Amino acid sequence: MRILMLGNSFTYCNDLDKELAERLNAYVVRNVRGGARLSEQLNSATELGANAAKLLTEKWDYVILQEMSRGPVTEKESFMQSVKELSARARECGAKPLLYATWAYREGSEKLASTGLGYKEMTLALHDSYHEAAAANGCLVADVGDAFYALREKAGELFVEDDYHPGVFGTGVAADVIAAVIKEDVKNG
């Protein structure tokens, strides 16, 4: 199985690609830059976008799309357009697009307060945006944000000190959720 991951630091923290490769016995490649939005993956004038364009000429089974942490809420139109275009490109190379639906910033953190949203409110807004994009583009969804919300009592393990990047445990949760979605898809083939 060949998997391409397009994202940012939520994808490369703690080597999520390697964790996913182990869980699925798959070949996983990541194309990431800290803070990157999916729109940058479409911009061939950037190094990230040029590399994505090249990678999307290869054969993949799944292409995982991960938007900048608050992008699906604060830049929803750009997010929706990027998912539309990247999903189409993924299908052109034989892949199923899968949205890596991320999480709200740690409850009670300054980072969360800076959004003007509450923890549950940001969680629901992210969930809704990812699911809307998935429905509009026929994508699979890995609800990692929902899993983080369900495990919020373990926030000290889910997050590192910055209150939004995943800790090792959080990366493991992400890998488990993404792997489960892919395994279910393969099973239902």
Please provide the DSSP assignment of the chain as one string.
-EEEEEESHHHHGGGHHHHHHHHHT-EEEEEE-TT--HHHHT-TTSHHHHHHHHHTTS--SEEEE---TTHHHHTHHHHHHHHHHHHHHHHHTTPEEEEEE--PPPTT-HHHHTTT--HHHHHHHHHHHHHHHHHHHT-EEEEHHHHHHHTGGGHHHHB-TTSSSB-HHHHHHHHHHHHHHHHHHHHH-
Residue 179 domain boundaries: 2-188
Domain at 74, CATH number = 3.40.50.1110
Domain count within the chain: 1
pLDDT tens for the chain, 189 residues long, are 999 999 999 999 999 999 999 999 999 999 999 999 999 999 999 999 999 999 999 999 999 999 999 999 999 999 999 999 999 999 999 999 999 999 999 999 999 999 999 999 999 999 999 999 999 999 999 999 999 999 999 989 999 999 999 999 999 999 999 999 999 999 998
